[in-house]
Amino acid sequence: MTKTLGFDTLQVHAGAKPDPATGARQVPIYQTTAYVFRDADHAAALFNLQEVGYIYSRLTNPTVSALAERITTLEGGAGGFCCSSGHAAQIMALFPLMAPGRNVVASTKLYGGTVQQFSNTIRKFGWSAKFVDFEDHAALKAAIDDDTRAVFCESIANPGGYITDLPAIAAIADAAGLPLIVDNTSATPYLCRPIEHGATIVVHSTTKYLTGNGTVTGGCVVDSGKFNWSQSDKFPSLTAPEPAYHGLKFHEALGGMAYTFHGIAVGLRDLGMTMNPQGAHYTLMGIETLSLRMERHVQNATRIANWLEADPRVEYVTWAGLKSSPYHDRAARIVPKGAGAIFTFAIKGGYEAGVKFVNSVELFSHVANLGDTRSLVIHSASTTHRQLTPEQRAAAGAGDNVVRLSIGIEDVNDLIADLDQALAKATA
């Protein structure tokens, strides 16, 4: 078929072909650590990156590769690879770009775990992060210096559902000769394809909407294949001779696939942040219904956000799909199919009211996860953002009386009834 296939078709078929040995229609779980070489020359060609194939499942595995191809196709990327978690994906995305003394400029509106990882953990590698309000474009430009190697943001930010102006941020990154990395977990490629808005690299926690059923953790990195890594000397991992491959220059030899091959041949080889094939299988099955689920997620979020905004027990709601949201017009441009199903609302009564609320829900599950078919709730200030300072929590939209909702696909009237009774208890 030469026709460009639609999203609903690709989410089922991309990366999947009948198994040549058995004819199995679903992607098999290749539960193996290693793969037999045809002969010594074949083995040498694989290890020299002269031929594409399978060596050892820390690097590549057919089930995991099928998942990477499916996500890459849905994102409109050139290449991609999967790893063990969303946090692993963030490290893997930065790994080819960074070096001791280098920094990444990141949005203040990020998942609390990402803020923690960028504030503290990456310092052990000699990397650092500068956090900037991406609404202040002048501040973003000023934060970029000679040691900056990437710009990082989320398409729909967790927890508040803030929509990033991706084309504007991409233009700033491009003018500085830097890649823009976008975490697209909350939007999924069904609601937003960041590469079409100028992103260089897209990362996912496949744990969330892509899998959709709260069973496995995973991450994915997708490269647009469009960035010219050789335009400066800032990215020697991709442009300078690689000692482990007899002086191979990744970008010179592999062009638009340089970043992807480096992520596998060096990143996964040496960091070992590998996705297991059974986990990949669960995510492949989840993606088959992604568009159907996202439509219901957004439909339910629309009803609930409007209901909460009208409730006198609620101070405000952050869902960008609301007409009152300062990001409503931006959402129409960046996520025209809907502003996602993650947002926060503030309960009148402060910190204690937030704690009472999450202790009172019955249908919503109080968990540290999002993007499930089930509706989920968490009080960010006492959990996911607990390690942050009050100023960092406020900047991330996780104040003391703020509750994050991840709206599932249940009957929306049942969800509203649960929120109603929990609000009654929290504000009594």
Does the residue 119 lie in any domain? Answer: yes
pLDDT band at 389 (very low <50, low <70, confident <90, very high): confident
Q: What pLDDT digit, counting tens, does each position of 390-402 carry?
A: 777 776 677 788 9
Is residue 1, in this structure, part of any structural domain at all?
Answer: no
208 and 168 belong to one structural domain: yes
Amino acid at residue number 103: N
* Residue 65 buriedness (CB in 10 A; 0-12 / 13-18 / 19+): buried
Task: Give residue 318's pLDDT.
Answer: 95
Within-domain flag for 207: yes
Rounded to the nearest 5°, which phi and psi values hold at 4?
-70, 125
**In a shared domain, residues 258 and 314:** no
Strand arrangement of the beta sheet that strand 79-83 belongs to: 79-83, 219-223, 201-205, 180-183, 148-154, 103-107, 128-132
Structural tokens at position 291: 């568009």
For tokens 């808005």, name the residue.
197
What is the mean pLDDT of the segment spanning 201-230? 97
Q: CB neighbours of 268 closer than 8 A, spacing ≥ 6?
A: 58, 59, 60, 81, 83, 92, 274
Task: Specify the pLDDT at position 105.
Answer: 98
- Which DSSP letter does residue 146 get? T
Single residue among 286, 304, 335 that ends a domain in this structure:
286
pLDDT value, residue 162: 94
Using one digit for the tens of pLDDT, what is the confidence trace for 258-297? 999 999 999 999 999 999 999 999 999 999 999 999 999 9
What local confidence, expressed as pLDDT, does residue 3 receive? 67
Alpha helices in 95-203 (DSSP H): 112-119, 137-143, 166-175, 188-191
Residues 411-426 have a mean pLDDT of 97
- Residue 142 pLDDT greater than 60, yes or no: yes
Domain count, the chain: 2
CB 173 within 8 Å of CB 148: no
What confidence score (pLDDT) does residue 2 get?
Answer: 47
- List, for residues 71-90, the tens digit of each pLDDT value: 999 999 999 999 999 999 99
What is this structure's pTM?
Answer: 0.95
What residue numbers bound the domain in which 66 lies?
7-286
pLDDT tens sequence across 334-380: 999 999 999 999 999 888 899 999 999 999 999 988 999 999 999 97
Query: 132 with 139: CB under 8 angstroms?
Result: yes
* Pairwise CA distance, residues 327 & 318, whole Å: 9
Q: Say if residues 313 and 423 touch (Cβ distance below 8 Å).
A: yes
Query: In degrees, to the nearest 5, what angle opens at C-alpha 10 toward C-alphas 6 and 11?
Result: 120
Residues 373 and 387 in one domain: yes
Output the domain CATH number for residue 316: 3.90.1150.10
CA 320 to chain centre: 19
64 and 175, same structural domain?
A: yes
> Which amino acid makes up residue 327?
Y
Q: What is the CATH number of the domain that holds 166?
A: 3.40.640.10
The Cα–Cα gap between 121 and 350 comes to 31
pLDDT one-digit tens code per residue, 238-263: 999 999 999 999 999 999 999 999 99
**Roughly what angle, to the nearest 10 degrees, separates helices 86-94 and 112-119?**
40
Structural domain includes residue 231? yes
| Residues 209 and 306 placed together within one structural domain of the fold | no
Higher pLDDT, 218 or 380: 218
Return the SS3 of 176.
coil
Give the residue from 237, 269, 286 where a domain finishes. Answer: 286
Question: Residues 310, 251: one domain?
Answer: no
How large is the average pLDDT for residues 411-423?
98
First and final C-alpha spacing in the chain: 62
pLDDT 10s digits, 88-113: 999 999 999 999 999 999 999 998 88
Task: Tell me the pLDDT band of 4, cut-offs 50, 70 and 90.
Answer: confident
Same domain, 44 and 89: yes
Q: Are residues 200 and 215 in the same domain?
A: yes
Cβ(335)–Cβ(194) under 8 Å? no
Residue 237 covered by a domain:
yes
Give bridge partners of residue 42 from the DSSP assignment: none
pLDDT tens for residues 318-329? Answer: 999 999 999 999
Residues 396 and 268 in one domain: no
- How does the average pLDDT of the chain come out, rounded? 95
Asked whether the predicted pLDDT for residue 385 surpasses 70, the reply is: no
Is residue 151 one of the residues assigned to a domain?
yes
Please report whether residue 2 resides in a domain: no
Whether 59 shows a pLDDT value over 90: the answer reads yes
Give Cβ neighbours of residue 360 (< 8 Å, ≥ 6 apart): 421, 422, 425, 426
Please give the full DSSP string across 300-339, using - where no structure is assigned.
Answer: HHHHHHHHHHT-TTEEEE--TTSTTSTTHHHHHHH-TT--
Helix (H, G, I), strand (E, B) or coil at 383: coil
- Regarding whether 101 and 217 lie in a shared domain, the answer is yes
Q: What is the dihedral of CA 330, 332, 338, 339, to 10 degrees?
A: 10
| Tens-digit pLDDT profile for residues 157-188 | 988 899 999 999 999 999 999 999 999 999 99
| Residue 315 pLDDT class (50, 70, 90 cuts) | very high
> Amino acid identity, residue 43?
A
Radius of gyration, CA atoms only, the chain = 22
Indicate whether 331 belongs to any domain: yes
Q: Is the peptide bond before 390 cis (omega within 30 degrees of 0)?
A: no
Asked if residue 310 and residue 276 are part of one domain, the reply reads no
Strands 365-366 and 376-378: parallel
Same domain, 320 and 220: no
Percent of the chain topping pLDDT 90? 88
Question: Quick one: pLDDT at residue 79?
Answer: 98
Q: Which of 244, 262, 286 is the last residue of a domain?
A: 286
